[in-house]
Structure 1
Amino acid sequence: MGRPAGPMARIVLAQDLAARLPEAKVLMPGDPVPPNGAASVHVSMQEFMPDGAGSVALQADWFVTAPQAGGLLAQGRFSRALPCGKSPAAQAREMSGLLAHLADTIARGLLSRAGGSL
C-alpha cells in the first residue's frame, strides 16, 4: 500500500507541474482553492528512497480528479530507478529528477486527455 507524498515532494512536484502546464492552472500546496473548484492531483508512493547500492527508485500511482468536470481526468502508474551514488547531494538531485519525470508523465496524461491544451 502506498503513502501520500511528503511535504517537500508535494512542493517540488507542484513546481514541476507548474513548469509543464499553463501557470494559472497549478496551485501550490496550501493555496486556497478558487470558488469554482480545481482539479486535484493525488499521488500514492510505494517507493521513493535511495538504496545502499547507489540508486534511487520512485514507484507511484497517480490520478487527477475534478468533480466539476465529471470526476477522473487522468490516471497512471510510474516506476523508474536512477543511479545516484551514495552522497546525500547526489541522492537529493536524482530524487528531484525522478519527481520531474513523474511531473512529465502526469502532464502528458492530462494534455493527451485534453487534446493538447488545458
Structure 2
Amino acid sequence: MAAAETLPLRLLLCACPDTGTAEDIAAALVEARLAACVTLLPGARSVYRWQGQVRRAEECVMLIKTRAADYPALEQRLLQLHPDQVPELLALPILGGNPAYLAWLGTAGD
C-alpha cells in the first residue's frame, strides 16, 4: 500500500486555560485569515507535569484548521496571544476529507 499523500493543510491542537481566552484567540486567527475555522471544545481535563509537580486543569481545546503555508505566521500570532508560558500547539497533517470542505479550507475560508 502506498503512503498517504499529505495535503497542504494542517489541523492544529491548542489548549487554552478557559473558553473566553480560546474564543479571543480563535477570532483573532480567523479575522487575520491565518485559520479558516477554529472549533472550541470546552470542558477538556488535562493531567500534566509542570515544574516538578503533577497538575490538573480544566481547559478549552481549540481545533484550528489552516493551510500549511500559514502555519509559521499562525504560530507566531498564537504565541503572542496565548497566556501560558509554554502553550500547547501541535500541528497534524491532513491526509484527506470531504473534497468540498478541503477546497474551502484551502482558501482560508473565503
TM-score (norm 1): 0.29
TM-score (norm 2): 0.30
Structure with a larger share of its residues in helix:
1
Larger RCO (CA within 8 A; separation ≥ 6):
2
